[in-house]
């Protein structure tokens, strides 16, 4: 282990990532940055990976307490090491377990997940990578049931998927008394195809708000909207 592992350094924390698990992605950083204003109270981070989103939310919300659950034992160890070496070790508890079978009486004010999303896809070469990128371990129906069971009344949740999976996720939500509040469509550039959709939802029904976010502009420069979101975290933005 550790052959392809590297360290991603943010303004207030650093995370080892990859081998085991996936490396930090721009869209995962966007999920953490965009959702911070909705995160409050007791938070559940499902599939925490290296601990990225948990750390981002802890940085932006010093009063929150976060349970970060990870199904893969070696990835959970990596997350624990990262959290212990971060300024947020008193805010974040890392748990190794399967959200589908976790036994807890806790209910959460905010639930966030950067889930596996490749369905009916060729198996990955390494088992830990397969667990990270395929929905064998957590499909969108499982995730919706977990959110329904663990979210406080009036609590909010956020997830990120490719559009084709988000469409299925949104349809299934309606069958489980969960409702979309906002959808953020993420594009690499104005000329690019839709990359990801971030969904903010709740147990309470309200009008849906749609937004677009472009990572880079026509000149391949980061957009002001992207820089505004990631400025608190990325070293390249001062």
pLDDT in tens, 119-146: 334 444 444 444 334 445 678 899 999 9
pTM of the model: 0.90
Q: Where are the alpha helices (DSSP H) in the chain?
A: 26-35, 52-60, 73-84, 127-133, 140-150, 163-174, 224-230
Instruction: Name the pLDDT band for 224 (thresholds 50, 70, 90).
Output: very high
Residue found by looking up tokens 């966030």 in the block? 112
Contact 54, 68 (CB under 8 A): yes
Q: What are the tokens at 230?
A: 């990631």
pLDDT score, position 128 = 43
pLDDT score, position 38 = 96
- Best CA proximity match to 33, nearest among 49, 17, 11, 16: 11
> H-helix or E-strand containing 167?
helix 163-174
Q: When comparing pLDDT for 178 and 140, which is higher?
A: 178
CA dist., res. 79 & res. 71, Å (int): 11
pLDDT score, position 137 = 60
CA dist., res. 39 & res. 126, Å (int): 33
Instruction: Name the pLDDT band for 102 (thresholds 50, 70, 90).
Output: confident
Asked if residue 109 has pLDDT above 80, the reply is yes
pLDDT score, position 184 = 98
Q: What are the tokens at 191?
A: 């000329």
Work out the mean pLDDT of the chain and round it to a whole number: 89
pLDDT score, position 136 = 54
Segment 12-71, tens digit of pLDDT: 999 999 888 788 999 999 999 999 999 999 999 999 999 999 999 999 999 999 999 999
Q: Classify domain 6-230 at the CATH superfamily level.
A: Vaccinia Virus protein VP39 (3.40.50.150)
pLDDT, mean of residues 174-203? 96
pLDDT score, position 143 = 93
Asked if residue 157 has pLDDT above 80, the reply is yes
**What ranges do the domains of the chain cover?**
6-230
Q: Which residues pair with 202 in a beta bridge?
A: 156, 179
pLDDT score, position 94 = 97
If DSSP codes are grouped into helix, strand and coil, which group holds residue 40? coil
pLDDT score, position 159 = 97
pLDDT, mean of residues 218-227? 97
- Best CA proximity match to 196, nearest among 220, 217, 167, 222: 167
């Amino acid at each position: 282990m550790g052959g392809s592992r590297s360290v991603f350094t943010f303004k207030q924390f650093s995370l080892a990532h990859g081998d085991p698990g996936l490396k930090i992605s721009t869209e995962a950083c966007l999920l953490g940055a965009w959702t911070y204003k909705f995160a409050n109270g007791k938070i559940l981070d499902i599939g925490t990976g290296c601990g990225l989103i948990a750390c981002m939310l802890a940085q932006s919300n010093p009063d929150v307490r976060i349970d970060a659950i990870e199904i893969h034992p070696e990835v959970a160890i990596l997350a624990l090491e990262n959290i212990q070496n971060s300024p947020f070790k008193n805010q974040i508890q890392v748990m190794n377990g399967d959200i589908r079978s976790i036994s807890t009486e806790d209910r959460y004010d905010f639930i966030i997940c950067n889930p596996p999303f490749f369905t009916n896809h060729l198996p990955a070469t390494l088992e830990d990578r397969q667990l990270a990128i395929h929905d064998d371990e957590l499909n969108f129906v499982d995730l919706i049931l977990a959110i329904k069971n663990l979210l406080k009344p009036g609590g909010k949740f956020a997830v990120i998927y490719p559009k084709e999976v988000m469409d299925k996720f949104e349809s299934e939500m309606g069958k489980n008394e969960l409702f979309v509040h906002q959808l953020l469509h993420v594009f690499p550039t104005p000329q690019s195809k839709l990359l990801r959709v971030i969904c903010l939802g709740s147990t309470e029904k309200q009008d849906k708000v749609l937004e677009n976010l472009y990572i880079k502009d026509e000149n391949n420069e980061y957009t002001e909207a992207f820089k505004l979101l990631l400025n608190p975290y990325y070293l390249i933005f001062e």
